[in-house]
Amino acid sequence: MAYVATRGGERAIEQSQRLFREAMGDISADRIQEIRDAMPYLIDRVMGEASLYDEDLAALALAQAGGELYEAILLLRAWRTTQPRLALAAPVTQESLFTHRRISAAFKDIPGGQVLGPTLDYAHRILATEVLSGDTYVPTPVDPAEKPAPAQQPSVAAWQAENGLLTLPQADAVQGNDIPDVTREPLLFPAKRAHTLQSLARAETGGVLALGYAAQRGYGQAHPTVNELRLAEAEVVVTHPRGTRFSAGRVKVSQAEVVNKKGEQLELGFAATMGWNEVKVIAAATLDLNSDGAPKGSATEEEFFLYHTEGVESSGFCIHFKLPHYVTFQSSLDAMRDAKAKKAAKATTPEPAE
Amino acid sequence: MPDPQCLEDFAHDEMLRILARARADKLKVFAEPLIADLGDIEVLDNRSGLVMLPMQDTAQGTHFHLGEVLVSEAHIKAMGFEGYGMRRGRDLEAAMAMALVDLTVAAGIAHSECGAFLRQEAAHQAAQDRDTLRRVEATRVDMETF
C-alpha cells in the first residue's frame, strides 16, 4: 500500500461545492416549511434511515443536499453525534399505538376491523398534468365519520394466539440501557435480535426492498402474507426528575408482521421503523421471517442483508471508488504491463535445441 | 420544605403530557408572567438532545431501539422546588415554559390559572385527536361477503 501526496485541487474542490449548492439557491425557513409540509413521506423515510426523528432537521437536510437522499441522511447521522442522549423512553407496545391505519391480508374479519387510513393502494395513478398548465390541484376533502375510530387497535397476533394459531412470546426482561444498541457497540454475527431489528429500522429502504423482494420472488424459504400492517403514532414516554412518567410527545411509526405456516402453527416475521414507510417494513419483516437457517451468502442470510442495507456505509463505499486511486490503479497497470512484457519475451525467445 | 403540589384536576403525568403537547406560542405567553412569582430561578439544564425510543417486537417479544427523537429539555429550581420540561423538537423556550409551569404548580402558586390553561390545551388536543380519528374512521372497510 502506498500513498502519494498531491496538491492543486483546493480551488477546484471549493468551486465544485459552490457549483452544487448554487443550483439549489437560497435556503430559507419558508423552504424548509414547504418541504416539511408537502413531502411528509419523504421526510419520514429520511428520519427513519437517519435514525433521528425531527421533521425540521430532515427537511433542512433535504434542502441542503438538494434531495440527494444519501447526503441528507449522512448529514443527519453526523449531526446526531453532536447531541447528548438525555433519556431512554419506555418501550413502545403495539397495543398502545395511536393508530391511523391497520390492515391484515391474512384475515378479513380481524378484531377492530380493517381500517385503511391514508393510502393510495386503490388509487388510479394519474399524473395531474393540468397543474403544469397553470391549474391548482385541490384534493377532495375527507367526509369524516360521525364517531371517531378507537385510538388503539387490538393486536391480530393476540387474537391468533387465543385461537391456537400461534404462541405469543414471553415479555422481554431486558430494559433500558441493557437493550443492545448498534450505535454504541459493533454488529457481530450471529446478531442479537435487538441489533437485527434496530439495523432494519434504520436500513436504507431501497436496499431492504431489493433483498426482501428477492425473498418474496422465491429466493427465500418462506412466502410472506401480511398478518398486520400499522401506521401509527407512538408516545415518547420519559421520566420526570420526581419519577413521574409522562409522554413528551408523539412520533410516527410503521410496523409490519408477516406470517407463514410452520408445522402446526404460524410463524411471524417482524419489522418497524420511525416514520411511515410501508414498503420498508413489509420487506424487512420478510427478511426477518426468512433469516432463520438461510444459506450463507443468500439474500435472506442475516449477515448478508444487514451489511448490505446500511445506507451510509454502502453508499459511502460505493462513492469512494470515484476518489483518486492513482497509486493502486498504477500498480494494476504495472502488473498488466509486466505480464505483457513477459509474454512478449517468451514469444521471441527460441526454444532450446533438443 | 413541603412536598411538591399537584393540580386538583390533573395528575402530575397528565399535566406534563398536556404541557409537552401544548401549542408552543400559547405556552410561552402563559408561562412568561409566572417568572415574577418564583424569585431567583436556577437553571440546571436548558438544552436539546436525544431520547432513544425502544419498541417491543411482537414476533419474539424482544425490546429493540427504533431510533432517537430530538427533544428540548429544561430543568430549573426555585424556592426549593424543581420544574422540568421535555418536548419534541428544538424549541428551548417552549421546554423552559413547560418547566416554569411545572415549578409554579409544585410551589403551590397560580393553581387556578394553570388549571385553566391546562383545560384549554387539553380540550384543544382532544378535539384534534377526535378530528383525526373521525377521518380515520371514514376509511373503515365495511366488508360484505357474497
Domain residues of chain B, as ranges? 12-133
User: Pick from A55, A59, A165: which is nearest to A104 by CA?
Assistant: A165
Closest CA–CA distance from residue B70 to any residue of chain A (Å): 6
Q: Which band of pLDDT confidence, cut at 50, 70 and 90, is reported for residue A353?
A: low
A261-265, A334-338, B24-28: least confident range: A261-265
| Candidate CATH numbers 3.30.160, 2.60.40, 1.10.3470, 1.10.3230; the one for domain B12-133 | 3.30.160
* Mean pLDDT (whole number) for B44-52: 98
A268 and A121 in a common domain = yes
Both A73 and A118 in a single domain? no
Length of chain A counted residue by residue: 354
3-state secondary structure of A293: coil
Average pLDDT (A100-113) is 93
Q: In the prediction, which pLDDT does A5 show?
A: 67
B48 reaches A (C-beta below 8 A) = yes
**Cβ-contact A271, A200 below 8 angstroms:** yes
Burial class of residue A129 in the structure, from the number of CB atoms within 10 Å of its CB (0-12 exposed, 13-18 middle, 19+ buried):
exposed
Check CB contact of A274 with chain B, cutoff 8 Å.
Answer: yes
Whether residue A71 sits in one domain with residue A164: no
Q: What is the pLDDT of residue A221?
A: 82
Residue A218: pLDDT band by 50, 70, 90 thresholds? confident
Per-residue pLDDT, B6: 92
- pLDDT at residue number B1: 66
| Mean of pLDDT values over B67-87 | 97
Same domain membership, residue A247 and residue A289: yes
Here the ipTM equals 0.97
Q: Is A83 on the interface with B (CB under 8 A)?
A: yes
Residues A17 and A119 in one domain: no
- Residue B133 with chain A: CB contacts under 8 Å: 148-151
- Chain A within 8 Å of B112 (Cβ-Cβ)? no
Residue A43 lies in a domain: yes
Range among A61-70, A166-175, A293-302 with highest mean pLDDT value: A61-70
Do A121 and A146 lie in a common domain?
yes
A98 interfaces chain B, CB cutoff of 8 Å: yes
Contact A268 B73 (CB under 8 A): no
Q: From the CA of A79, how many Å to the nearest CA of chain B?
A: 11
Same domain, A24 and A148: no
Count of C-beta atoms within a 10 Å radius of residue A150? 14
CB pairs A-B closer than 8 Å: 257
Other CB atoms within a 10 A radius of the CB of residue A94 amount to 27
Domain identity same for A297 and A152: yes
Mutate which of B12, B21, B60, B66 to test chain A, going by most A C-beta atoms within 10 A? B66
**The pLDDT value given to residue A7:** 73
Does the pLDDT of residue A2 top 60, yes or no? no
A113 — contact with chain B (CB < 8 Å)? yes
Q: How many domains does chain A have?
A: 2
Is A89 in Cβ contact with B53 (below 8 Å)? Answer: yes
Confidence of residue A348 (pLDDT cuts 50, 70, 90): confident
Q: Do A86 and B86 touch (CB under 8 A)?
A: yes
Residue A31 sits in the same domain as residue A113: no
Asked whether the beta carbons of residue A250 and residue B88 sit closer than 8 angstroms, the reply is yes
Residue among B48, B54, B70 minimizing CB distance to A89: B54
The per-residue pLDDT of chain A, averaged, comes to: 93
Interface contact A54, partner B, CB < 8 A: yes
| Cα distance between residue A2 and residue A344, in whole Å | 29
pTM: 0.94
- Is residue A102 one of the residues assigned to a domain? yes
Of B52, B135, B139, the CB nearest to A85: B52
In the predicted structure, residue A227 carries a pLDDT above the cut 90: yes
Residue A338 forms part of a structural domain: no
Residue A264, pLDDT score: 83
Q: Tell me if chain B has a CB within 8 Å of the CB of A52.
A: yes
Q: How many alpha carbons lie under 13 Å from residue A261 in its C-beta half-sphere?
A: 3
So what's the pLDDT on residue B57?
A: 95
Task: From chain A, pick out residues whose CB is under 8 angstroms from the CB of B70.
Answer: 52-54, 57, 83
- The confidence score (pLDDT) of residue A60 equals 98
Domain edge (last residue) among A50, A80, A110: A80
Give the residue among A277, A206, A85 at the shortest CA–CA distance from B65.
A85
Q: Judged by CB atoms within 8 Å, which residues 50-109 of B form the interface with A?
A: 50-71, 73, 75, 82, 84, 86-90, 102
Q: Between chains, do A248 and B59 touch, taking CB under 8 Å as contact?
A: no
Tell me the C-alpha distance between B53 and A96, whole Å.
14
Strands annotated E in A240-301 = 245-262, 265-274
CA A86 – CA B67 distance, rounded (Å): 14
Residue B23 has pLDDT above 80, yes or no: yes
CA-to-CA distance for A41 and A252, rounded, in angstroms?
Answer: 11
Are A252 and B42 spatial neighbours (Cβ–Cβ below 8 Å)?
no
The reported pLDDT for the residue numbered B80 is 94
Residue A141 has pLDDT above 90, yes or no: yes
Q: What is the mean pLDDT of residues B91-117?
A: 97
d(CA B33, nearest CA chain A) in Å: 23
Q: Does residue A51 belong to any structural domain of this protein?
A: yes
- CA end-to-end span of chain A: 45
Query: Average pLDDT for residues A90-101, to the nearest whole number?
Result: 96
In terms of Cβ atoms closer than 10 Å to its own Cβ (0-12, 13-18, 19+), residue A188 is exposed
Q: Which residues of A64-82 are buried (b: 16+ CB within 10 A; e: fewer)?
A: bbeeebbbbbbbbbebbee
Confidence tier at A140 by pLDDT (50, 70, 90): very high
Please report whether residue A294 resides in a domain.
yes
Task: Tell me whether A165 touches chain B (CB under 8 Å).
Answer: no
A190: cis peptide before it, omega within 30°? Answer: yes
Q: Which has more pLDDT, A297 or A43?
A: A43
User: Does A14 fall in a domain?
Assistant: yes
Computed over every residue of chain B, the mean pLDDT equals 96
Q: Is A190 on the interface with B (CB under 8 A)?
A: no
Containing structural domain, residue A225? 94-309
Of B17, B49, B82, the CB nearest to A246: B17
Nearest-angstrom CA–CA distance, A317 and A74: 13
All residues at 6 or more sequence positions from A123 whose CB lies less than 8 Å from its CB, including other chains = none
Task: Report yes or no on A239 lying in a domain.
Answer: yes
